[in-house]
Structure 1
Amino acid sequence: MSHDMAVTGHHVPHGLRDVLSDFFRVPPERVFVRCREEQDQWSAEEWDALGSSVVSCPYERLRGDLAWSLPIYHLDEDRAPSVTDLALRIAREFDTLALFPVAGDPPYLWHLATPRGDLCHAALDEQPCGEPESDAPARRIGQVDRPVRELPGAAVLPFLDPGCGAGVPASDT
């Protein structure tokens, strides 16, 4: 089972192992959290830890409003909690915004969890990052379907899709 997430807080990787251990109810030594960009520097012990982990998160740095991509893998599908519960927990524990994709919708549409336990929808915009060594775009949270204190510059507009409460941003129709 995997959960894809992104967070705005640059501090999130510090302490993520303990939060995932508690959330998934596994011992900390069975949780692997490392930066994927540094995998060529991982020691043999780190590779062994990855192989014996029940929960792993090889996180990656992002640009723009999103600080980190958190692909979280859990081997026990029968006991895997929902991505919504996990996002709410990470948002609260780290006082950050946690985003996860809306299933079956366009790739720019995400669910957003706040540190206060609120959920809404967010649309991501991609912009050139302005860094010559990188082809990766900077992602900006440009629109939300309700006000979010941490995003004062985001447009607040409804998303059109009465069936699931999310869909095409109203401004795009």
Structure 2
Amino acid sequence: MPTKRLHQDVATRWNSTYHMVESLLEQKRSISAYGADHDLPVTLTANQWALLEKTITVLAPFEELTRQISSSTSSAAEVIPSVTVLKRLLARENEGDTGIKTMKTILLEAVQRRFKTIENEPLYAVATLLDLRFKDRYFKGADSIKHAKDALTREVEKMEALQSRTTPKGSRESARKPP
């Protein structure tokens, strides 16, 4: 087998936990064989390995979202839809280990707390509303959609006001009428 290193968790980078668990699962056979060969007192049980696999399943959307938002081609319009999809994935009920259910609940609460007002941020709201892929599909309700449309209206008014201040008076008429 090729030599590989296990990743270590770093408290300041959440995705390091994902990469650490992923590397453990990739090296499961090697770790188990090493433990057996060296007569280690404690190794992971089958249930613990299964729990790690479920943990990876829960953390995978966070890793994908981080990569997507961090890419050079991402835009502000993708923030609200991404957070909404993440919340939906975490809220989805599935049978299984109570530890995983607890983890999903805690992660969902953290996402809701940190992104509670994301739809009220004019930059993200307007960008999402104007993006043809998303429009108003990812807003929570009528109030959020109205807030986003109001933010868009304010931005258009600002642009019109700026244009009227910077355009010479004689050229305004010619700019409005097609030749």
- Radius of gyration: which is bigger? 2
Q: Would you call these one fold, judging by a TM-score over 0.5?
A: no
Alignment TM-score, normalising by the size of structure 1:
0.24
Alignment TM-score, normalising by the size of structure 2:
0.23
Q: From the two aligned structures, give the one with the greater strand fraction.
A: 1
